[in-house]
A = this chain, B = another copy of it.
């Protein structure tokens, strides 16, 4: 399944459409910014899937905090993504504060998922997605 999805090119239209904006914002042309758009989309969905997988684990009692941080991290990543794609009349101060919240949510969720990474593959992969997104947030914050 994984290989099928990978060859079929996820997010193709979303990526192509980014550069068609009539008045692209300056940030729209940087690699750090486009990298963060990808990272928040990837992390939001990864966290939702990890939460759902945790809900089915026999030892769910150990995973309460993991489910909670997965759900909240997904929420914050989704909101951040919606602000990131804004090129019309972008409010830089709001975007910066939201990316800071996203870095914190991803860092906290990664820390929790890493505790279960040896036991559960979904926690291991989710932690990687969170760390990648946290790093992409920090990269953008150096330029804002």
- Contact surface of A with B, Cβ cutoff 8 Å: 1-2, 4-6, 8-23, 28-29, 31, 34-35, 37-38, 41-43, 45-46, 48-50, 52-53, 55-58, 60-61, 64-65, 67-69, 71-72, 75-76, 78-79, 81-83, 85-91, 93-94, 97-98, 100-101, 104-105, 108, 120-122, 125-126, 128-129, 132
Contacts and interface: CB of A to CB of B under 8 A. Distances in A.
A83 B76 contact: yes
27 contacts: A1-B29, A4-B31, A4-B34, A5-B35, A13-B43, A13-B125, A13-B128, A13-B132, A17-B50, A17-B53, A17-B126, A17-B129, A20-B120, A21-B56, A48-B85, A52-B87, A52-B88, A53-B87, A55-B68, A60-B60, A60-B61, A76-B79, A76-B98, A78-B78, A94-B105, A97-B100, A98-B105
A68 B42 contact: no
